[in-house]
Amino acid sequence: MNYTEPPILTVKGIRLAFGTNQLFSNVEFAINRGDKISLVGRNGSGKSTLLKVISGVQEADDGEIFVQPHTKISYMPQEPDFSKYKTLRDVVLSGLPKSEDNLDYKADILIRELAIREGQSPQESSGGERKKAALAKALIGEPDILLLDEPTNHLDMPTIEKLENVIRDFKGAVVVISHDRMFLNHVSEKMFWLDRGILRQNNRGFEFFEDWQEQVINQEIIEQKYLNKKLEEETEWLHKGVTARRKRNMGRLRRLQQLRQERKEQLKRVGSINLEVENADLRSKMVIEAKHIFKEYGERTIVKDFSIRVIKGNKIGIVGPNGAGKTTLIKLLTKRLVPDSGFVRIGKNLEEAYFDQNRDTLDPKKTLWQTLCDKGDHIFVHGHYRHVVAYLKDFLFKPDQAKMPVSALSGGEKNRLMLAVALAKQSNFLVLDEPTNDLDMDTLDLLQEVLSDYEGTVLIVSHDRDFLDRVVTSIIYMSGDGTATEYAGSYSDLLAKQKNVLPKIADKKKVQTSKIPESSRTVIKNAKLSYYQQRLLEVLPQEIEQLVKELETVKEALNDADLYVEQPEEFNRLTLRYTEITQDIENKENQWFEIQELKEQLT
């Protein structure tokens, strides 16, 4: 007889409202030992509140929560209060149960593993250090259920990768809220999607979320349309552009690959020729030229001997550990800081829009409307006048939020508003310092779409690996010892190069490019696509074009309002065909993209 262990936590029919706002209702689920669950949904959908209810920090208005006896639950809020602690070590130790307060060695292990500056005061620590201490506090008691609210915010990439390993090896259950797609892809095995008060569940990892979400949305649109239900404003707000943004656009992918190849060629030219005698074509498109810049603070070198030429249209990501000097490098390249030696030149007619990770530029007393438009009701954006409410809707704000004060917004909504302000400015040069913090995935999709279509130049500091993969043409990697090196391609390309081409870093020695043996160069030089792959590269776009035409025909047939009533079988057949074609298009686009990437690697 097979014995199935009962859930360690069961939720039945919980409901919670704030005044007239019903946050969620009739929520039911179970958590089993070892579950790795991602909890996703838009900002303001109630994800954080649901975690608080599960942890016991907040009570639901109705429903039941049953926890198996002796089950320990640990909850890490998004913005923990550390005001009563003197040091970060005290923060970590506060997570120990009273019965284990003599087991300080557990704190030592976590402090060493996460590289926490234990003697620092929480009030004087960076967001990343505070986040690491909060994680250690949540882990130290060895809970059965670990609840994590945005654990990757403010963490650098090496620490995020450590956290991924911690969660994968964790024996208990984990429920995590995060906007970091790559992080969720690596750690989650189940999904909870909180959507307009309803909790949907799927027993697959986050990598399948976009397909699942699209199926749910398409089905909902069809049901509402053909059952003669009026599409609610709230539903329209949710669906606005989601499907279109989620679709992989081959044109954009091809353009991004082309831009990456152009940047690779630019780097070759700049690397082989003195910057002073660069050809006229590149010089006329020059946005930033930096040569042999140094910057030190006290005895610490932040940037040493760094040279770069940024050309119009480049989209450059800057990555590295916290404290490596990424923001300092941006300030040097935009002449907000003066280097100790070397020089920086800025191109002519540069119109810059700057997004700072600090939200000090927002006036909490102003409404969203006033923040964008002090007078009147229209805003001038990219050569056109837009009604301020219509522009706010582009950034996923509901119309009734336009007259709300900024102080009423969540952290993610404030970042969304700051993006709206920055992107409304007339510019040909965008500087984005940590734009992805606190943003939900739909806003990240929106930002990706805007940056993909942006014809100017972009500098981005971000720890979101998936976002960088989708947007940048090259990556500047700062190791923390003052060195900064640019690599053409995505963040994933950088990782592959570091693993396969660069020697391992030891004792903080400077990274040097390893020489490729002659035999390896010969293999790479002689490698090429197979006939079959080359043929697919030519015919797949034609096949996709035919599928798109068929999709339009199916959609046109489904637009017949009488079809559902008069021919239900045909309606069901066309609905199924719509889903099949959509999936087929995506599969063929992915196949084409993979072969195209392989071709570029071989050349």
Q: What is the pLDDT of residue 243?
A: 45
Q: Alpha helix locations (H) across 227-316?
A: 233-239, 242-246, 250-272, 280-284
Q: What is the pLDDT of residue 241?
A: 44
Looking at the fold, whether 24 and 171 belong to one and the same domain comes out as: yes
Instruction: Quote the number of domains for the chain.
Output: 3
Q: What is the pLDDT of residue 337?
A: 93
Looking at the fold, whether 479 and 445 belong to one and the same domain comes out as: yes
Looking at the fold, whether 487 and 523 belong to one and the same domain comes out as: no
Taking the C-alpha atoms of residue 196 and residue 23, their distance in angstroms, rounded to an integer, is 8
Taking the C-alpha atoms of residue 487 and residue 41, their distance in angstroms, rounded to an integer, is 34
Enclosing domain of residue 55 = 9-215
Looking at the fold, whether 405 and 526 belong to one and the same domain comes out as: no
Looking at the fold, whether 507 and 545 belong to one and the same domain comes out as: no
Looking at the fold, whether 529 and 501 belong to one and the same domain comes out as: no
Q: What is the pLDDT of residue 380?
A: 87
Q: What is the pLDDT of residue 318?
A: 95
What is the total residue count of the chain? 603
Q: What is the pLDDT of residue 253?
A: 67
Looking at the fold, whether 307 and 206 belong to one and the same domain comes out as: no
Looking at the fold, whether 374 and 429 belong to one and the same domain comes out as: yes
| Helix-helix angle 105-113:127-140, to 10 degrees | 140
Last residue of a domain, one of 215, 238, 270: 215
Looking at the fold, whether 575 and 432 belong to one and the same domain comes out as: no
Show contacts of 275-279: CB within 8 Å, 24+ apart. Answer: 275/307, 275/309, 278/309
Q: What is the pLDDT of residue 249?
A: 56
Position 523 in a domain: yes
Q: What is the pLDDT of residue 473?
A: 93
Q: What is the pLDDT of residue 576?
A: 79
Position 145 in a domain: yes
Looking at the fold, whether 144 and 37 belong to one and the same domain comes out as: yes
Position 246 in a domain: no
Q: What is the DSSP letter of 405?
A: B
What CATH number has the domain bearing residue 597?
A: 1.10.287
Helix or strand run (H / E) with residue 341: strand 341-346
- Coil, strand or helix at 247: coil
Alpha carbon distance, N-terminus to C-terminus of the chain: 59
What CATH number has the domain bearing residue 485?
A: 3.40.50.300
Looking at the fold, whether 583 and 485 belong to one and the same domain comes out as: no
Q: Which residues, other chains included, contact 189 with Cβ-Cβ below 8 Å and sequence gap of 6+?
A: 35, 36, 37, 204, 205
Q: Which residues, other chains included, contact 572 with Cβ-Cβ below 8 Å and sequence gap of 6+?
A: none
| DSSP, residue by residue, 156-217 | -HHHHHHHHHHHHH-SSEEEEE-S-HHHHHHH-SEEEEEETTEEEEESS-GGGHHHHHHHHH
Taking the C-alpha atoms of residue 250 and residue 240, their distance in angstroms, rounded to an integer, is 21
pLDDT tens per residue across span 117-171? 999 999 988 888 999 999 999 999 999 999 999 999 888 888 999 999 999 999 9
Q: What is the pLDDT of residue 519?
A: 38
Taking the C-alpha atoms of residue 449 and residue 351, their distance in angstroms, rounded to an integer, is 21
Taking the C-alpha atoms of residue 107 and residue 137, their distance in angstroms, rounded to an integer, is 8
Q: What is the pLDDT of residue 269?
A: 60
Position 243 in a domain: no
Last residue of a domain, one of 161, 193, 215: 215
SS (H, E, C) 62-131: EEEEEECCCCCEEEECCCCCCCCCCCHHHHHHCCCCHHHCCCCHHHHHHHHHCCCCCCCCHHHCCHHHHH
Position 71 in a domain: yes
Q: What is the pLDDT of residue 271?
A: 45
Q: What is the largest CA-CA distance in the chain?
A: 80
Last residue of a domain, one of 500, 518, 536: 518
Looking at the fold, whether 508 and 537 belong to one and the same domain comes out as: no
Do residues 19 and 42 touch, judged by C-beta distance below 8 A? no
Position 205 in a domain: yes
For tokens 């050809």, name the residue: 279
Position 239 in a domain: no
Average pLDDT, the chain: 82
Regions of the chain short of the pLDDT cut 50: 1-3, 227-235, 237-238, 240-248, 271-282, 501-526
Position 318 in a domain: yes
